[in-house]
Amino acid sequence: MKSNTISLEHGAGGEVMQALIGEIILKNFHNKSAGSIGLESLDDGSTIRLEGLNSEYELVLTTDSHVITPAFFPNTNIGRLAVAGTINDLTVMGAKPLALTCAVVVPEGFPLTEFEEIIKTMDETAAEAGVPIITGDTKTVEKTALDSIILNTAGLGITDSPVRDSGLQVGDKILVTGTIGDHGISLMAHREGFDFDTDLVSDSAPLWRLIEPLLKLRTPDGKPVITAMKDPTRGGLANALNEMAKKSGTGILIEEDWIPFKPAVSAACEMLGLDPLEVANEGKAVIGVRSGFEEEVLSILRQHPYGRDAAVIGEVTPDNKGEVILRNRFGGMRYVDIPAGDPIPRVC
């Protein structure tokens, strides 16, 4: 925290944001836990133990504000991003989504037709996961005060076995549910007017139906097959894997050739000097799976349209604790660093 004012990196999902959260937010919030997973875990949501509820169950609460610009982008809009994002935060915590909120801040002059389109998209996206949107808030501001609509969605879920991002164990396989970098690259291309001559679109999607069957899988001795989960949004796969390795106290070794990329994403990243591992995804999960169960998990994932390109990309190692190593096809290895921030701002 070198400067004394907020910079864009403070909200970009990487190392600078972690510092802000640690040095200002966690330090000053004294009462920040209501269950087994609290704010200090910095997971995708936190849990609440409820008196009167069977003690196997915990509620999960999560929130996200979305400041993407423009609000409309190839194939969809901020409404899908917000609803899917919150459903996914609950999903990667292992929680069945129960209800969502919808809080809108909108500048005067915003077209009512676009506003209605966003609301319709939220409804459709929530319907995919069968989640009701039960409460909301609407605020307006002067057009000079804000450049585009901001959506906040909070979500409540319930689980009998929360999945943490810190649960990786040595030997686990690391899976992703599909191609990496689609959202960030498609958004940037759209915004900057690049024409990659492809139909690359955002991957924004609610993953509950895809992930739900995995949560029930148990090993013969009754342990959950899924050991850890995270959605690689801001900061991309690089940030998600680093958080998982650090919190789990293990190493992660990733095989570069195994990571699924759309050709347009690889080409764009090469041309623009971007690392696709640092680019935001909005419809993907990174999953830790007990060794020996990866084929079963893959075959379940691939039955769902959102999991068609699911792949094993690496495994959890006892060495290089807290670090992520990428091995290329020639056996060359490099550390995958925590990004300072997202290379493409305001994509979510």
Report the C-alpha gap between 307 and 305 in whole angstroms.
5
Among positions 277-296, residues that touch a copy of itself (CB under 8 A) are: none
Two tokens, residue 6: 């907020």
Give min distance, CB of 15 to a copy of itself, in A: 13
State which residue, 33 or 75, has the beta carbon closest to a copy of itself: 33
Binding segment for a copy of itself (CB under 8 A), chosen from 1-9, 187-195, 215-223, 308-316, is 1-9
Give min distance, CB of 179 to a copy of itself, in A: 25
Report the C-alpha gap between 190 and 196 in whole angstroms.
10
With binding defined as CB under 8 A, does residue 91 bind a copy of itself?
A: no
Report the C-alpha gap between 109 and 143 in whole angstroms.
7
Among 139, 216, 223, 321, binds a copy of itself (CB under 8 A): 139
State which residue, 29 or 335, has the beta carbon closest to a copy of itself: 29
Among 126, 185, 238, 252, binds a copy of itself (CB under 8 A): 126
Q: Are strands 324-327 and 333-335 parallel, antiparallel or unpaired?
A: antiparallel
Two tokens, residue 103: 């809080």
Give min distance, CB of 22 to a copy of itself, in A: 12
Give min distance, CB of 93 to a copy of itself, in A: 10
Asked whether the CA dihedral 92, 48, 157, 154 is positive or negative, the reply is negative
With binding defined as CB under 8 A, does residue 9 bind a copy of itself?
A: yes
With binding defined as CB under 8 A, does residue 55 bind a copy of itself?
A: no
Among positions 147-186, residues that touch a copy of itself (CB under 8 A) are: 147-148, 150, 152, 154, 156, 158
**What is the C-alpha R_g of the chain?**
19
With binding defined as CB under 8 A, does residue 123 bind a copy of itself?
A: yes
Q: Is the separation of the CB atoms in 274 and 343 below 8 Å?
A: yes
Q: Measure Cα distances from 192 to 184, 215, 245, 271, 315 in Å.
A: 12, 40, 34, 14, 37
Report the C-alpha gap between 191 and 173 in whole angstroms.
36
Q: Which helix (H) or strand (E) holds 245?
A: helix 236-248
Among 14, 62, 215, 344, binds a copy of itself (CB under 8 A): 62
With binding defined as CB under 8 A, does residue 65 bind a copy of itself?
A: yes
Asked whether the CA dihedral 6, 8, 12, 14 is positive or negative, the reply is negative
State which residue, 161 or 320, has the beta carbon closest to a copy of itself: 161
DSSP code at position 37: S
CB count in 10 Å sphere of residue 288: 27
With binding defined as CB under 8 A, does residue 229 bind a copy of itself?
A: no
Binding segment for a copy of itself (CB under 8 A), chosen from 51-59, 188-196, 238-246, 247-255, is 51-59
State which residue, 66 or 164, has the beta carbon closest to a copy of itself: 66
Residue 144 burial by CB count (10 A; 0-12/13-18/19+): exposed, middle or buried?
Answer: exposed
DSSP 239-302: HHHHHHHHHHT-EEEEEGGGS---HHHHHHHHHHT--GGGS--SS--EEEE-TT-HHHHHHHHH
DSSP code at position 130: T
Q: Closest Cα partner for 269 from 245, 291, 237, 296?
A: 237
State which residue, 31 or 193, has the beta carbon closest to a copy of itself: 31
With binding defined as CB under 8 A, does residue 29 bind a copy of itself?
A: yes
Give min distance, CB of 195 to a copy of itself, in A: 25
Among 127, 213, 249, 291, binds a copy of itself (CB under 8 A): 127
Distance, C-alpha 63 to centroid of its chain: 12
State which residue, 96 or 327, has the beta carbon closest to a copy of itself: 96
The contact pattern for a copy of itself, residues 103-122, with x = CB under 8 A and - = no contact, is xxxxxxxxxxx-xx--xx-x
Among 81, 133, 188, 324, binds a copy of itself (CB under 8 A): 133
Site size toward a copy of itself, by CB under 8 A: 91
Give min distance, CB of 230 to a copy of itself, in A: 15
